[in-house]
Amino acid sequence: MDMEVVRLGRTDMRVSRVGMGVWQFSGDAWGAISYEQAKAVVAKAVDVGINFFDTAAVYGRGRSEEYLGRAIKELGLRDRVYIATKIHGEWLRRIDILTSVENQRRRLGVDAIDLYQIHWPACWHNTPICETMKTLEELVNKGLVRYIGVSNFPVQLLDYARTCLSRTDIVTSQNRYNLVEREADKELLPYLRREGIVLIAWSPLAKGVLTGKYTPENPPAFEDVRRNDPLFTPQNLKLAWPLVEEIRRLAAAYGKTPAQVALNWLVRDPWIYPIPGAKRPEQAVENAGAAGWMLSDDDWRRLDRLGWEISQRIIYVTW
Q: Is 214 annotated in the active site?
A: no
Distance CA 267, CA 171 (A): 18
Q: Which one of the listed residues 35, 59, 116, 147 is annotated catalytic?
A: 59
Enzyme catalytic residues: 59
